[in-house]
Amino acid sequence: MIFYFAPMEGITGHIYRRAFHKYFPAPDKYFTPFIAPDGNKILRNKEKRDVLPENNAGMQVIPQIITNRADYFLMAAEYLKSEYGYTEVNLNLGCPSGTVVAKGKGSGFLSRLDELERFFDEVFEKCSVEVSVKTRVGRNDAEDWEEILDVFGKFPIKELTVHPRIQKDFYKGQVRTETFAYAYENWEKPICYNGDIFTKESFEKLLSRFPKLERVMLGRGLLSDPYLIGRLKEEALPEENERKEAIHGFHEQLMAEYGEVLSCDRDLLYKMKELWFYLLDSFEESEKARKQIRKCEKLSEYKIIVEQLFRENSLVK
């Protein structure tokens, strides 16, 4: 099985990826949070830092682009190739954010199939790098999925990653397994599944339904349990104390590196709070710490809460 780390906007930038890769069982590929080129600038400074090869040493990283304009996509793809040596880019057709969708980007592009087909016509005629796609199965209705997949099938997409929800689902409710099944049975090129893999049990359930599946993308599951890939591969994991030390080291590296680029303690505090929204799922009896972290307003107070958590709370078995 090939494992990918999903792009998570605001979280899985190069600082996070580098620390994760150092401490935990690594995915085969990382995808960057999306780059949004426009007419004024191809890549902003933050996006440039995120794709710099020296910031991603030892990892296979695929830049993701979000746009509904072929000329912007082509400019970004060619820039990433010429400046940084990337040979593959990924198109985001999955972001469910209301502000993104209102502009006809992300999963909002899925309701404009004529425009999407013209976009692909130009991109695949002119683009000199390989193009993969990460998509949802529709904007407003999963019944549109067969038509969407027909459009995709007209073009040499390197790999299709499918999150089987529609835009208005966001991340709620059950994934639409039968909708993914249509792609699994009819898509002839490489396909990757993404959505709600949090445990070995959910992974095994997926494989029992799709036994020939070879690629899985993990997102929130990896943020919540950084040892998830090791569990899914049935690797022998370190003892609890070693795993806790690794999570502590990961946390300290993030604190140090975010502290170098953020302008004040308050920004660093809120950046670290975002981390614990997911990572507390790795700890037993963590509700008290969750409330304390959510309410704390001083970095010094935050550090005391976190050190107490590492000292007193066991990892989930």
Helix residue spans in 103-186 (DSSP H): 113-126, 145-152, 177-186
Binned at pLDDT 50, 70 and 90, residue 11 comes out as very high
Confirm whether 41 is domain-assigned.
yes
Report angle CA 139, 145, 148 to the nearest 5 degrees: 90
Confirm whether 103 is domain-assigned.
yes
Confirm whether 317 is domain-assigned.
no
239-260, pLDDT tens digit by residue? Answer: 999 999 999 999 999 999 999 9
- What phi, psi does 161 have (nearest 5°)? -100, 125
What domain count does the chain have?
Answer: 2
Strand pairing of 88-93 and 130-135?
Answer: parallel
Q: What is the pLDDT of residue 88?
A: 98
Structural domain for 281, as ranges: 240-312
Average pLDDT of the residues in 106-117: 97
Q: What is the pLDDT of residue 151?
A: 98
Average pLDDT of the residues in 156-184: 96
193-229, pLDDT tens digit by residue? Answer: 999 999 999 999 999 999 999 999 999 999 999 999 9
Percent residues over pLDDT 70 in the chain = 100
pTM (two decimals): 0.95
Confirm whether 211 is domain-assigned.
yes
Confirm whether 186 is domain-assigned.
yes
- Whether 152 and 266 share a structural domain: no
- Whether 283 and 184 share a structural domain: no
- Whether 75 and 214 share a structural domain: yes
Question: Of 172, 205, 232, at which residue does a domain stop?
Answer: 232
Residue 317 has pLDDT above 90, yes or no: no
Residue 40 has pLDDT above 90, yes or no: no
Torsion of Cα atoms, 285 then 289 then 290 then 293, to 10°: -170
